Amino acid sequence: MDEVLGPLDELLPELENLYADLHAHPELSLQETRTAGIAAERLRAAGFEVTTGIGGTGVVGILRNGTGPTVMLRADMDALPVKEDTGLPYASRVTATDREGKTVPVMHACGHDIHVTWLAGAASLLARARAAWRGTLMAVFQPAEETGEGAQAMMTGGLAARFPRPDVILGQHVMVGSAGVLGWRAGVVTSAGDSFQVRLFGRGAHGSMPQASIDPVVMAASTVLRLQTIVSRELAATEAAVVTVGALQAGTKENVIPDEALIKLNVRTFDEGVRSRVLAAIERIVKAEAAASGAPRPPEITPLDRYMLVKNDPEATHRVVESFQRRFPAERLQETEPTSASEDFGSFGAGWHAPSVFWFVGGTDPDAYRKARESGRLGDLPTNHNPRFAPVLHPTLRTGVEAAVTAAQAWLSP
């Protein structure tokens, strides 16, 4: 292990520059051409066989190093339509055109820039120290995690057909938590996620003549309130789910009752049975509220994206954790609870029928995290997707590279 990770200190300044560059130049989902080009260039320089354009902008690097297991390490590349407010000297000032043709600010508000940097660092170190391991390393830089489509796009776009089935698939994600601490668990790690758009139809009228209307604003408001009763009144206290309405859009002027209203909502669940009941309840409530309002036509319910559960294989997780325990002090390893965040990482293991392990890396300044925890104000810390979210660079950068190499070596060591 020391033979592989020994050069990390001299590599860190280069990785810091790479991270700052990626952070300053974020790209939206399936627009990650610059990031993909940088990933491909670094893999080629390290001696990998590189294939680009998998699933859109995905990059795959293969490094064959004798007979042994095939280990896949994955990093996601895309950013979010968020205006950065971190104050960093390398903060993003980028704007881009989204799929609806709108110009939006772009920010790495979920840490995918450091994920790319981690994998670039791990790939470089393993390539330099081939005498220390045997097998095949597969480095996968994935597009479009934020839209829930990138992993599956890579699988159907040639990843499963053109490359060897991995013996294990490994991934990691920066999260709120004390920097340098790794969070792991066997079984369910992240929730299933379902997003929908609902169009409610009414009849417009002058604001002074509501009797002539079928008001979709009132219809939408009633729907939003009723949706909140799914978790509070239809699920047992031992069952977990989240139903969030993130957008309610209707009308353009205060004295005009519009014809339509639009709702966008998101659901997170940890159990397939609970998921089915929640989705059925959403459909029932949306249709019932429209009927109760006398809507001229039924609502349209359109799926937006879907994330499956991420489940860690118990045996593979045990192997990773044992490797972590040999590398990191006990206080830097924590068994976590499932998180209501969602990830499309699970599509790789499901598609290949291969064991996978996904863990978290804390990215919050340790002193700030400790003070927030002691004061009961952890909720004040900027989370992923927040305009102020930015991992503290040290020791987050080192920890992620160390963790990726250490986990891979659990299979690749001779």
CB contact set of 119 (below 8 Å; sequence gap of 6+): 39, 73, 74, 75, 139, 141, 404
Q: Which CATH number among 3.40.50.720, 3.30.390.50, 3.40.50.1100, 3.40.630.10 corresponds to the domain 2-189+309-412? A: 3.40.630.10
Instruction: Output the six-digit token pair for 50.
Output: 């590189």
- CA within 13 Å, CB half, 245: 19
pLDDT at site 1: 61
DSSP 157: I
In whole angstroms, give the CA distance from residue 253 to residue 243: 29
pTM of the model: 0.92
pLDDT tens sequence across 298-308:
999 999 999 99
Burial 368-380 (b: 16+ CB within 10 A, else e): ebeebeeeeeeee
The token duo for 71 is 């280990």
Domain limits, the chain: 2-189+309-412, 192-306
**Continuous segment of H or E residues that includes residue 160:** helix 160-162
Neighbours of 261 (CB within 10 A): 24
Residue 263's nearest CA partner among 193, 197, 194 is 197
Provide the pairing of β-strand 241-250 with 260-269. Answer: antiparallel
Distance from C-alpha of 316 to C-alpha of 408, rounded to nearest angstrom: 11
Can you give the pLDDT at residue 54?
97
**Contact criterion met (CB below 8 Å) for 80 and 360:** no
Residue-wise pLDDT tens digits, 45-63: 999 999 999 999 999 999 9
The per-residue pLDDT for 413 is: 83
**Alpha-carbon distances of 381 from 44, 68, 176, 229, rounded to whole Å:** 39, 43, 8, 29
pLDDT recorded at residue 245 = 97
Instruction: Tell me how long the chain is.
Output: 414
Domain with residues 192-306, CATH architecture: 2-Layer Sandwich (3.30)
| pLDDT at residue number 2 | 85
Name the DSSP letter for residue 235: S
Low-confidence ranges of the chain (pLDDT < 70): 1
CA 302 to chain centre: 22
Among the listed residues 117, 127, 109, the one whose alpha carbon sits nearest the alpha carbon of residue 13: 117
